[in-house]
Structure 1
Amino acid sequence: MEKKIKRTMGIWEVRYMFESSIIIFLIIGALATTTVYYVNDSNEQETSVDVISHTPHNVNNKDVYDSLDGCDLFRGKWVHDNDSYPLYMEHQCPYIPGEFSCEEYGRTDLKYQQWRWQPHACNLPRFDAKRVLEKLRGKRVMFVGDSVNRNQWLSMVCMLQSVIPLGLKKMHKVANASLFTFKAFEYDVSIDFYWAPLLVESNADHPSKHKRSDRVINIQSIEKHAKNWLNADILVFNSYLWWGTPTLKILHGSFADSKRYNIISNHDGYKMVLEKWSNWFTTHIDHKRTQSYFMSMTATHQRGVDWGMQGTENCLNETEPVMKEDFWESGSDLKMMRILESSLDNLKSRGVNVQLVNITQLTQYRKDGHPSIHRLFYSTLKAKQLSNPKGYADCTHWCLPGVPDTWNELLLAYIIQRLN
């Protein structure tokens, strides 16, 4: 190297060669460091676009809550992210019931807990339980609907409760009502769930004893349930699964004194009930005070042929999402979705804004997120059932932690924005 330097730099004197070598070494090191920096910076920018990183995302991005204009939160893809997720551990949340405690009931593949929803055109902010509780301080959030809405309510409780000290939180069922409430005393926050799977009075109104092969509703009776919703600051509705039978009965009169009824289609019944709900909702809720949301239908992965399986397979033993964009499972009733959208559009034309939280497409992909056989069953399974696990696999509800946590991240994006 010394000879090469003498040939090309002959004008240098020997006494300066040692110092010059040091300078060259420092210059080369600086250039190398700069190159590495720009390569890494380029990779980080590419990662944020292609969404392949497992690092926590948008930790400091609070502005996403400030404006959702032009951003479709519901079009995107699931990205494996085992650094950021799960948002809580199953064993750390004492409120998860046996229906959703998949790990406790034998599920060992835990990848279902580690998926992040990535919208195509924007990002969701990193969930921050303390920030959410501060924003909700003094408020009452109420989920109203069926067991999937209960699934989401418990997810919200688990997401928030971990930062609340023991003695400053409480879960209990309200006596003589279909109401369950979680209190965060430090923040004066109430996160409640009210069981009303068909929104109006029905033969499925008992919060635990409601297994019915038929559906009977008293469409004129919404006040029995709705009077319990009046003092909520945030209302989150759902109603879909219990409309799955082809027909239902509409009573003439009350359950106490009438046995006369009409039989109508589930679609006609859904439309009539949403109209009754809309009329009550328009006149009884203070819409300047109360934020209102309606969760769209969720997928039930009962037919494995939809994603390429053979025979009668379903969600049993599924461990990965469907990665095909716009995948749609055949059990989802698109007509029901259109009826809901039309009802909410009609409400909007009357000056009442109920935000649709459209989780339908993102749940289509998550065939891996259900409890399947990994849950508590409240009746003893018979030998014949046990010999055919896919016959009793639960492909309707969702493991916690898991997919419902994402529903709440989407819901909170709207709630927090409106509270800013």
Structure 2
Amino acid sequence: MSIWWAFIVRQYKILSILLYLRFIKTTKIIILGMGMRIFLLYPHPACQKRILMRKDRSLLRLLQNWTPGIIYQMTKNDDESSSSHSSAARMRMVTTIMRAWRTMMNFYSDISSKCDCDLYHGRWVHDPDGPLYTNKTCPIITQMQNCQGNGRPDRDYENWRWKPDQCDLPRFDPRKFLQLMQGKTLAFIGDSVARNQMESLLCILWQVETPKNRGNRLMHRWTFPSTSTTIARIWSSWLVHHTNDPIEGAGADVDKLHLDMPDEFFMEHIPKFDVIVLSSGHWFAKKSVYLLNSTVIGGQLWNPPTSMEQSMKVNHMEAYRISVETALTAIARQPNYAGLTIVRTYSPDHYEGGEWNTGGSCTGKSKPAQRVVENGFTNGMHQRQVASFWNSMQKTGAAARFRLMDITEGFGLRHDGHPGPYRSPDPNKITKRGRGGRPPSQDCLHWCMPGPVDTWNELVLEIIRREFDHANDPIPQLQH
């Protein structure tokens, strides 16, 4: 930030010297050139991307409505100074230009703060206001994520907010969300963690309005009548086409993933959506076979026949990379879909001492961690997902309609936010370690509700606000 303000101050000094020397016509060119340079280039990298990827309506309205007024005022004062050469005329001209400059800087500061803040690097801070809802005020929480209803004895994990380093992430405003999404549909596409996020959003919105259930087994749909806003969910474990048809060495009990073909079901429905929140990844740890061009190229937890061993070149992480690029490329090239796609990055789990099925545990975690415990699998999945995102954007040129919601690093700190052993209301469930220190069966992947997962929807709202609400930003008026 300091580099760019140094640039502005340097330009300001040049302008002051020109004014002092009374190079009136040159001054006009300089101030307008500086204004165009600031507003068209936006010296902050995030703003540069925003301007280069789409026409910013606030900017266009500014240039249309505001710049002609500056030119008029400067020309008027120039004429006055030419005719009278009076000190008063020169001072009026200087005052007008300085006022224009201050207005321009204020507008610059305001708009740069909206598009330059990195939402994904920050820290967790304690929030005395508590959660946006409780397990008693939301009727649709999946029982496995209803940690308080399942007897979890602590609840401080509900009282932490994400604080980006450069700005504040606003607390979720349900009415603002419904206003921005009036007449629109937001769809979550992914696995059970996507369902976790959808239910979190519904719980938050439920506090101001009870929605109507319009869904079915294939697609969950909830509509809020006051604004005709719909929240939908489509299950897609891998985001690519899969079958259970038997092939050599893999029977109907093994999923076959065609990594170069997107999931046809969600692709059929996306033209109906205005915003998509896309996520995946965890199912790639399950038993499956990977195919490209209908040829087996790899697998996970599957022993191929000897005839296929030489072709087994793709592991589950690489398969994930290919699948993400396939899905995003297909969405970007869908001619009937022009909505906003938010790609949520890989959600970290916190199984310590093993995996979900080999004694991994998150028992006893009650506060966010001070630092992220490195997890090679999470890091590998995240890196490949991000690489695929940018590869598909470069390939399709569709970056204007896609946003990467990079939650992985920040949520690596939230080992306290999972159900752990409190995933069932069974009063006889085992919650303590047994003989030999073996932990009870538990869930360290999904998120308690309420809990950290609600922050994902605060990020979604902020992304939507930046995309849909900027057209209503006030345009500065030059004070006469």
When normalised by structure 1's length, the TM-score is 0.71
Shift of 1:331: 5.4
Q: Which residue of 2 aligns with 1:75?
A: 121
Q: Which residue of 1 aligns with 2:263?
A: 222
Distance in 2, Cα, partners of 1:163 & 1:409: 16
Shift of 1:247: 6.6
Asked whether 1:321 is paired with 2:371, we answer: no
Q: Which residue of 2 aligns with 1:265?
A: 315
Q: Which residue of 2 aligns with 1:199?
A: 239
Asked whether 1:375 is paired with 2:416, we answer: no
Shift of 1:285: 5.0
Shift of 1:183: 1.1
User: Which ranges of structure 2 fall in alignment gaps of 5 or more residues?
Assistant: 1-108, 245-251, 296-303, 470-480
Q: 1:285 to 1:402 in 2, by over 3 A?
A: farther
Distance in 1, Cα, partners of 2:430 & 2:243: 27
Distance in 1, Cα, partners of 2:112 & 2:175: 17
CA deviations on 1:195-249 (whole Å, 9 max, x unpaired) are 0010013359xxxxxxx99542133363233112221000110011112259733
Q: Which residue of 1 aligns with 2:406?
A: 358
Q: Which residue of 2 aligns with 1:46?
A: none
Q: 1:321 to 1:111 in 2, by over 3 A?
A: same
8 A contact 1:77–1:120 mirrored in 2:
yes
Q: 1:279 to 1:69 in 2, by over 3 A?
A: closer
Asked whether 1:183 is paired with 2:183, we answer: no
Asked whether 1:295 is paired with 2:341, we answer: no
Q: Which residue of 1 aligns with 2:275?
A: 234
8 A contact 2:183–2:227 mirrored in 1:
yes
Asked whether 1:416 is paired with 2:465, we answer: yes
Shift of 1:162: 1.1
Q: 1:384 to 1:342 in 2, by over 3 A?
A: closer
Distance in 1, Cα, partners of 2:110 & 2:140: 30
Q: Residue 268 of structure 1 aligns to which amino acid in structure 2?
A: E
Shift of 1:384: 13
Corresponding residue to 1:277 among 327, 337, 359: 327
Distance in 2, Cα, partners of 1:267 & 1:368: 26
Q: Which residue of 2 aligns with 1:17?
A: none
Distance in 1, Cα, partners of 2:376 & 2:192: 18
Shift of 1:392: 1.0
Distance in 2, Cα, partners of 1:282 & 1:381: 47
Q: 1:134 to 1:221 in 2, by over 3 A?
A: closer
Shift of 1:251: 8.0
8 A contact 2:243–2:255 mirrored in 1:
yes
Distance in 2, Cα, partners of 1:346 & 1:331: 22
8 A contact 2:183–2:228 mirrored in 1:
yes
Asked whether 1:118 is paired with 2:163, we answer: yes
Q: Which moved more, 1:361-370 or 1:225-234?
A: 225-234
Distance in 2, Cα, partners of 1:213 & 1:367: 33
Distance in 2, Cα, partners of 1:132 & 1:171: 19
Shift of 1:71: 1.2
Shift of 1:339: 1.9
Q: 1:109 to 1:343 in 2, by over 3 A?
A: same
Q: Which residue of 2 aligns with 1:48?
A: none
Shift of 1:142: 0.3
Where 1:90 maps in the other structure, the secondary structure is coil
Q: Residue 465 of structure 2 aligns to which amino acid in structure 1?
A: I
RMSD, aligned CA: 3.4
Q: Which residue of 1 aligns with 2:172?
A: 127
Corresponding residue to 1:334 among 375, 379, 386: 379
Corresponding residue to 1:159 among 186, 191, 204: 204
8 A contact 1:140–1:189 mirrored in 2:
yes
User: Which ranges of structure 1 fall in alignment gaps of 5 or more residues?
Assistant: 1-62, 205-211, 306-311
Shift of 1:189: 0.5
8 A contact 2:157–2:367 mirrored in 1:
yes
CA deviations on 1:28-72 (whole Å, 9 max, x unpaired) are xxxxxxxxxxxxxxxxxxxxxxxxxxxxxxxxxxx9999532211
Q: Residue 342 of structure 2 aligns to which amino acid in structure 1?
A: Y
1:392-411 equivalences in 2 (<5 Å): 392-411=441-460
Q: Residue 283 of structure 1 aligns to which amino acid in structure 2?
A: R
Q: Which residue of 2 aligns with 1:18?
A: none
8 A contact 1:299–1:331 mirrored in 2:
no
8 A contact 2:221–2:231 mirrored in 1:
yes
Distance in 1, Cα, partners of 2:134 & 2:171: 17
Aligned residue pair count: 331
Q: Which residue of 1 aligns with 2:153?
A: 108
Shift of 1:156: 0.7
CA deviations on 1:105-163 (whole Å, 9 max, x unpaired) are 10121111110111111111232111111111100000000111111111111111110
Q: 1:383 to 1:115 in 2, by over 3 A?
A: closer
Where 2:114 maps in the other structure, the secondary structure is coil
When normalised by structure 2's length, the TM-score is 0.62
Report which of the two has the higher share of helix: 2
Shift of 1:77: 0.8
Q: Which residue of 2 aligns with 1:174?
A: 216
8 A contact 1:246–1:266 mirrored in 2:
no
Distance in 1, Cα, partners of 2:133 & 2:112: 25
Where 2:329 maps in the other structure, the secondary structure is helix
Shift of 1:272: 2.5
Q: 1:232 to 1:334 in 2, by over 3 A?
A: same
Where 1:92 maps in the other structure, the secondary structure is coil
Q: Which residue of 2 aligns with 1:345?
A: 390
**Structure 1 stretches of at least 4 aligned residues deviating more than 4 Å after TM superposition:** 63-67, 212-215, 251-254, 259-263, 380-389
Distance in 2, Cα, partners of 1:126 & 1:271: 33
Q: 1:192 to 1:270 in 2, by over 3 A?
A: same
Distance in 1, Cα, partners of 2:350 & 2:430: 23
Corresponding residue to 2:182 among 121, 134, 137: 137
1:376-391 equivalences in 2 (<5 Å): 376=424, 390-391=439-440
Q: Which residue of 2 aligns with 1:87?
A: 132
Q: Residue 121 of structure 2 aligns to which amino acid in structure 1?
A: R
